[in-house]
Structure 1
Amino acid sequence: MAQYKTPGVYVVEKNAFPNSVVEVATAVPAFIGYTEFSDNKGTSLAQKAWRITSMAEFNAYYGGPPQSKFSINPLPAADPKAPPVTGDFSITDSATKQRTEYELKAEGTSYILYYSMLLFFMNGGGPCYIVSVGHYGDDLDADKISAGIDTLLKEQEPTMVLVPDAVRLSAQDCTTVQTNALMHCGFKMRNRIALLDVYDGYKDRQDPAGDCVGAFREAVGTNFLDFGTAYYPWVNTSIVKEKDIDFTVITNLDVLTDLLKKELSPITDAANPTPAAKVKIDQLNAALAAITSDWTKSQDPATDKQTLNKTLLAVSSLYPQIILAIQKKLNLLPPAAGMAGLYTMVDNTRGVWKAPANISMNGVVSPTVAISNDEQEDLNVTTQGKSINAIRSFIGEGVLVWGARTLDGNSLDWRYVSVRRTMIMIEESLKQACKAYVFEPNTANTWVTIKSMARNFLTSVWKRGGLAGASPDDAFSVFVGLGETMTADDILEGLLKVSILVAVSRPAEFIEITFQQQMQKS
């Protein structure tokens, strides 16, 4: 109350309404991995969390795709009694009629953060954070990636943590990184979730090397599972285009030239080749000679490379097979980054309380493993409770996400990822709003203001479908006050306790329709 000492008229304004609660962002992923460079106009962005909103910004701050390299290697002849060996492509010798299988082996370190970012934005991704822990040419290091996760301790905005490059580590190092991500989300921050990829998730569960899902469940442990989610299997994407690949990705060009010559040997060895065949042979020989020579020193090497690649595609039927096989290998990606984009799209269109499932994935041709209903039973419901969400292909519908559970599948509280993310949004929004009342008098006026503010916010969430109930009183309850949530000692100690009960809406995961015959009535 102001002290009035001079006669006059004084105007006193009082706030009629409580502070409003600003809903925090719910879909801001943070990606940790390796990039071409990390620079912002001369300032290093290494081991720093940097916010971007588009792929153009990623290219500006972190560069382009890695320069992938592959070698062509013949597979050993299979035992006649064993199943046939299948490589990436094959060629039959015209003289001996013997068929030889070849595989394309990736050379050097494989980095997938760049392609994961493309998949993220293709599926509806928006603002996100990037933590570059190294550059192309560096060895993948679990300690560096874990340090990149710790960098996010200073950032409050991210709500998801993804480490795409972890699956390129050894199985043990991948486990270390993923468990660190779970601890970061569930123990240190508690305001974000980890989207994990199943190690070797492109393999079938009946693979002779072992069950990749079972190995993932054993490795991930039992701590903070309600703050993590995982998807299986990996997906074949259309991120990398055929035009993005040429003969320069092949390290042993001498093997390539020998194979292409062997392919056209029937035409070359013919007694009287046709004029068209002669032109084809001349074009191939000229192209192969240019490839094996130092063509990079020409006046316009980029154009020459493009011309040579087009010539090989036109005169050879084997070369396009090799390019297609390389394209398929580069397009094999873990699905977590695409799921982060779908989370963003669902949050923006339906709300964070809508389960991110029964939606199609963009830029995905097919899952690497076809899953049936029976096979999904163990993925979705298991005695250990470590639910793995399936990505399945349905006739006429495309590739759909067919699961919406956290890794804590046996918990009735935190079984669904939409419930966990909704609670994170409500908790963080009210937490930020209540900061305005720190050091305010711990009296009934403050209690009523906070209660009114919380009720208004929760009513808004209920109206949009985030909370279940026929009325706001059925959907939530807010308690605060002396004798209700606090004792006299609490007030003396400076504690203001607010208790909120919410009924978060849950997805209809199992829909049961009962049919029964009835007697004829007419």
Structure 2
Amino acid sequence: MPNYFSPGIYVEEVPSGARPIGAVGTSTAGFVGVAPDPNAVSDRAVPVNNWTEFLNVFASGVDNPQGTPLSRAVFGFFDNGGTRCWVVNVGANGQISGTGRKRAGLQLLETVDELSIVAAPGFHGAVATEALLSLAERLRTMVAICDPAPDVDDIASLTRVGTPTDKPAKPPKPDDPAPAAPSPEDVGNRPRQSEFGTFYYPWITVRDPLTGELVDTPPSGHIAGVWARTDALRGVHKAPANEPVRGAVDLARQLTRSEQDVLNPKGVNCIRSFAGEGIRVWGARTLAAEASEWRYLNVRRLTISLEQAIANGTRWMVFEPNDFTLWRSIRRDIGAFLTRVWRDGALLGRTPEEAFFVKCDEETNPVDVRDAGMVVAHIGIAVVKPAEFVVFKLSQWAGGTETETIGS
């Protein structure tokens, strides 16, 4: 208590105790690939806020720079609504995974805390996708976008998990028979299962921003831009699908509905062309198993953003006295944050009580938990899932027709 010596009015500023939890960014991407200038910065991740910055850093060192999957991906990212990304150039060694103690390739992105999307345009196959998925799963703060190989025409191969094919072969012996060509049934072009990864097919045709020529390119950069645009306009809880792909003038392969019937259950997000509507993203699934609760991309990304926001906003609680006051603060701060999330339409329920709960009391923090130096809070959320299948049931009746709409 302060000491008062003279009669009068004293005004003191008293902290309310409430510490609002703020939302985190969800649209910053990290790209690893070969830059137009292969000798440009290659030992660190470079922040890029627009296309001009990318050209100044990664294309100004050569005359008549030629487009690469990386340059087209960065251009497509900004063209589709992205505002900030980090770029790693691996032109010097052409490997997205570093070896030895020095960080290289994807490892350079591990030091960037703001990333929520990662891709390696120009790299595909089991080795590249494994590196992307392993990074996302290890950090648990981002989702990887995997690209298919070019010129994949066998739709069935996109439902089978690929295996590494670039391991060094053993030298054949003179009397060894010639190796048999792999059967089409043995070839797989799909990444393995992962709730932190996505896979889009096919490649898209774009006009190269450096040469002006029409070329086929991996879709990951443009898709990352679509994610960023959807986050800005609707929120991370909105599935980034049924959205136009800006800059795409054609597809490397036109897909039919029956072909997507095969691909969609396997977590392959298709890019389709519709008459009068252009080229659109027509899928929003992760690479998780079909029965997994993380099979929808917006559910996975929303949960990541909530986890990050709560972790950042409650850091002040570390080393606070583990008592009723702290438990009440946890319920208050996290409850207020999730109420705002519910009001934004990200949680399902007519009231906050139906949309989420936060439990932190003596039941979740018995004596043995407190003695271990831990405070435990249980948080439950009802996430809004996308209406992936909209079913209209039409039947005849004497007065005309009646339509009943149900959604999943």
**Could you tell me the TM-score, scaled by structure 2's length?**
0.83
Q: Cα deviation per residue 1:268-305 (whole Å; 9 max; x = unaligned)?
A: xxxxxxxxxxxxxxxxxxxxxxxxxxxxxxxxxxxxxx
Corresponding residue to 1:445 among 315, 322, 325? 325
Q: Map of 1:323-362 to 2, 5 A cutoff?
A: 327-328=213-214, 331-362=215-246
Tell me, in whole angstroms, the C-alpha distance in 1 between the residues paired with 2:53 and 2:81: 16
Corresponding residue to 2:53 among 53, 57, 61? 57
Corresponding residue to 2:271 among 369, 374, 391? 391
Q: Map of 1:261-272 to 2, 5 A cutoff?
A: none
Q: SS in structure 2 opposite 1:56?
A: helix
Q: Deviation at 1:494?
A: 1.3
Tell me, in whole angstroms, the C-alpha distance in 2 between the residues paired with 1:431 and 1:59: 36
Tell me, in whole angstroms, the C-alpha distance in 1 between the residues paired with 2:198 and 2:304: 15
Kindly indicate whether the alpha-carbon contact (under 8 Å) linking 1:27 and 1:344 is maintained by their aligned counterparts in 2. yes
Kindly indicate whether the alpha-carbon contact (under 8 Å) linking 2:121 and 2:147 is maintained by their aligned counterparts in 1. yes
Amino acid at match of 1:165: G
Q: Map of 1:268-287 to 2, 5 A cutoff?
A: none
Tell me, in whole angstroms, the C-alpha distance in 2 between the residues paired with 1:520 and 1:34: 65
**Map of 1:503 onto structure 2:** 382
Q: SS in structure 1 opposite 2:327?
A: helix
Corresponding residue to 2:145 among 179, 195, 212? 195
**Structure ranking higher in helix proportion:** 1
Amino acid at match of 1:446: L
Q: Deviation at 1:221?
A: 5.8
Amino acid at match of 1:175: A
Residues 411 and 6 from structure 1, CA distance in 2 versus in 1: closer, same or farther, beyond 3 angstroms?
Answer: farther
Residues 376 and 221 from structure 1, CA distance in 2 versus in 1: closer, same or farther, beyond 3 angstroms?
Answer: closer
Residues 455 and 61 from structure 1, CA distance in 2 versus in 1: closer, same or farther, beyond 3 angstroms?
Answer: same
Corresponding residue to 2:89 among 114, 132, 139? 132
Amino acid at match of 2:59: G
Kindly indicate whether the alpha-carbon contact (under 8 Å) linking 1:198 and 1:213 is maintained by their aligned counterparts in 2. no
Q: Which runs of 5+ in 1 are unaligned?
A: 70-109, 168-173, 246-326
Residues 444 and 67 from structure 1, CA distance in 2 versus in 1: closer, same or farther, beyond 3 angstroms?
Answer: same
Residues 215 and 190 from structure 1, CA distance in 2 versus in 1: closer, same or farther, beyond 3 angstroms?
Answer: closer
Q: Deviation at 1:215?
A: 5.6
Q: Please provide the CA RMSD for this pair.
A: 2.7
Q: Deviation at 1:35?
A: 2.0
Q: Which runs of 5+ in 2 are unaligned?
A: 164-187, 401-408
Kindly indicate whether the alpha-carbon contact (under 8 Å) linking 2:200 and 2:220 is maintained by their aligned counterparts in 1. yes
Q: SS in structure 1 opposite 2:136?
A: helix
Structure 2 residue 195 is the aligned partner of structure 1 residue 233? no
**Map of 1:261 onto structure 2:** none
Residues 433 and 215 from structure 1, CA distance in 2 versus in 1: closer, same or farther, beyond 3 angstroms?
Answer: closer
**Map of 1:112 onto structure 2:** 69
Structure 2 residue 156 is the aligned partner of structure 1 residue 156? no
Q: Deviation at 1:436?
A: 1.2
Q: Map of 1:41-52 to 2, 5 A cutoff?
A: 45-52=41-48
**Map of 1:486 onto structure 2:** 365
Q: Cα deviation per residue 1:47-89 (whole Å; 9 max; x = unaligned)?
A: 31221210111112222589688xxxxxxxxxxxxxxxxxxxx
Corresponding residue to 2:283 among 385, 403, 408? 403
Extract structure 1 runs of 4+ deviating beyond 3 A: 2-13, 36-39, 64-69, 142-147, 210-223
**Map of 2:80 onto structure 1:** 123
Q: Cα deviation per residue 1:114-156 (whole Å; 9 max; x = unaligned)?
A: 121111111111111111223xxx4523544993211222221
**Map of 2:28 onto structure 1:** 28
Residues 344 and 409 from structure 1, CA distance in 2 versus in 1: closer, same or farther, beyond 3 angstroms?
Answer: same
Kindly indicate whether the alpha-carbon contact (under 8 Å) linking 1:468 and 1:475 is maintained by their aligned counterparts in 2. yes
Q: Deviation at 1:480?
A: 0.6
Tell me, in whole angstroms, the C-alpha distance in 1 between the residues paired with 2:271 and 2:189: 21
Tell me, in whole angstroms, the C-alpha distance in 2 between the residues paired with 1:56 and 1:380: 37
Tell me, in whole angstroms, the C-alpha distance in 1 between the residues paired with 2:283 and 2:289: 11
Q: Deviation at 1:412?
A: 3.7
Residues 176 and 406 from structure 1, CA distance in 2 versus in 1: closer, same or farther, beyond 3 angstroms?
Answer: same
**Map of 1:204 onto structure 2:** 153
Q: SS in structure 2 opposite 1:514?
A: strand
**Map of 2:357 onto structure 1:** 477
Q: Deviation at 1:220?
A: 5.6
Residues 57 and 497 from structure 1, CA distance in 2 versus in 1: closer, same or farther, beyond 3 angstroms?
Answer: same
| Number of aligned residue pairs | 371
Tell me, in whole angstroms, the C-alpha distance in 2 between the residues paired with 1:26 and 1:8: 55
Residues 59 and 16 from structure 1, CA distance in 2 versus in 1: closer, same or farther, beyond 3 angstroms?
Answer: same
**Map of 2:128 onto structure 1:** 177
Q: SS in structure 1 opposite 2:279?
A: strand
Tell me, in whole angstroms, the C-alpha distance in 1 between the residues paired with 2:360 and 2:306: 17
**Map of 1:459 onto structure 2:** 339
Kindly indicate whether the alpha-carbon contact (under 8 Å) linking 2:195 and 2:295 is maintained by their aligned counterparts in 1. yes
Q: SS in structure 2 opposite 1:460?
A: helix
Q: Cα deviation per residue 1:181-214 (whole Å; 9 max; x = unaligned)?
A: 111111x2101010000122x43226xxx93554
Tell me, in whole angstroms, the C-alpha distance in 2 between the residues paired with 1:130 and 1:221: 23
Tell me, in whole angstroms, the C-alpha distance in 2 between the residues paired with 1:367 and 1:158: 29
Residues 177 and 520 from structure 1, CA distance in 2 versus in 1: closer, same or farther, beyond 3 angstroms?
Answer: closer
Kindly indicate whether the alpha-carbon contact (under 8 Å) linking 2:202 and 2:251 is maintained by their aligned counterparts in 1. yes
Kindly indicate whether the alpha-carbon contact (under 8 Å) linking 1:49 and 1:130 is maintained by their aligned counterparts in 2. yes
Q: SS in structure 1 opposite 2:391?
A: coil
Kindly indicate whether the alpha-carbon contact (under 8 Å) linking 2:21 and 2:333 is maintained by their aligned counterparts in 1. yes
Kindly indicate whether the alpha-carbon contact (under 8 Å) linking 1:392 and 1:402 is maintained by their aligned counterparts in 2. yes
Tell me, in whole angstroms, the C-alpha distance in 2 between the residues paired with 1:60 and 1:459: 44
Residues 195 and 346 from structure 1, CA distance in 2 versus in 1: closer, same or farther, beyond 3 angstroms?
Answer: same
Tell me, in whole angstroms, the C-alpha distance in 1 between the residues paired with 2:220 and 2:111: 23
Q: SS in structure 2 opposite 1:236?
A: strand
Tell me, in whole angstroms, the C-alpha distance in 2 between the residues paired with 1:115 and 1:443: 55
Tell me, in whole angstroms, the C-alpha distance in 2 between the residues paired with 1:440 and 1:340: 40
Residues 397 and 413 from structure 1, CA distance in 2 versus in 1: closer, same or farther, beyond 3 angstroms?
Answer: same
